[in-house]
Amino acid sequence: MKKFITVVLCLALTVSALFVFASCGGTQTKANTETGVEQTQKSGTANEETTEEAMSMVNPLVEYDTLEEAEKASGLNLSIPDKITPVKFIVIDKSTLEVIYDGGYIRKARWGGDISGDYNNYNYSEAALLGEKAVTYKGDSQNEIKLAIWTEGENSFCFYSETPVTPGTMNSYINATG
C-alpha cells in the first residue's frame, strides 16, 4: 500500500510540475553566431508566443593577423620597438590599438588618459618628462619599471612589461613607440 501511495504522489508531483511549466512558459535561447543576436522562443502557453530577438553584447575586442590590418581598422598608426616581437594585434572598441608581445603589451588610443587597464598598486610611481612627453612610470622600484603611460598630441600610449625593466630600457621603448 505504501508503494502505491508513493507512486501516486510522485506521478501527481510530476504532472503538477509539467502543468506549472506549461502555464508559465518555458524559454529556449539560441545564439546566432553570424549576427550576434540571441533568439529567445517562449512556448507552452495557450496563445503560442512568437520569437523575440534580444540584442546581445558585441565583443569590443577584434583580433587581426597583421599590424597593418589592425591599424586600418582602428585608424591609428603604431611604431613598435625593434626588440619587440608581436604575437597578437587587437583593436578595442575601434579606438584603441593593442599589440601583445611575449611578456607584455603596447597600446595606443585616440583619447587622453590612462589606457593601460593595469590597476595594480605599485611600490613606485613617478611622473617625469622624456623630451616633450610627460610620462608616468610605475613599477616595483625606481630601477624596476613595469608600466609607462604617456600622451603625445591627441593620442595616449602605454607600454607594459611583465618583467621589470630599467628606466633606460623603458625610455628606449617609449622613444621607439609612436
Q: Using CA atoms, how far apart are residues 178 and 168, in angstroms rounded to an integer?
A: 17
User: How many other β-carbons are positioned within 10 Å of the β-carbon of residue 150?
Assistant: 20
Q: Say if CB 96 and CB 115 are below 8 A apart.
A: yes
Q: The C-alpha cell of 159 is what?
A: 607600454
Q: Say if CB 151 and CB 112 are below 8 A apart.
A: yes
For the chain, the average pLDDT equals 79
User: How many other β-carbons are positioned within 10 Å of the β-carbon of residue 172?
Assistant: 15
DSSP SS3 for 172: helix
Predicted local confidence at residue 59, as pLDDT:
85
Q: Please report, for residues 67, 68, 98, 114, the alpha-carbon distance to residue 75 in angstroms, rounded to integers and kept in the order given.
A: 12, 10, 13, 19
Q: Using CA atoms, how far apart are residues 66 and 110, in angstroms rounded to an integer?
A: 20
Q: Using CA atoms, how far apart are residues 170 and 142, in angstroms rounded to an integer?
A: 12
The mean pLDDT of 3-12, rounded to a whole number, is 46
The mean pLDDT of 93-105, rounded to a whole number, is 95
Q: The C-alpha cell of 166 is what?
A: 630599467
27 against 85, higher pLDDT: 85
The mean pLDDT of 4-31, rounded to a whole number, is 42
pLDDT band at 27 (very low <50, low <70, confident <90, very high): very low
Predicted local confidence at residue 153, as pLDDT:
87
54 against 58, higher pLDDT: 58
How large a percentage of the chain has pLDDT more than 90? 61
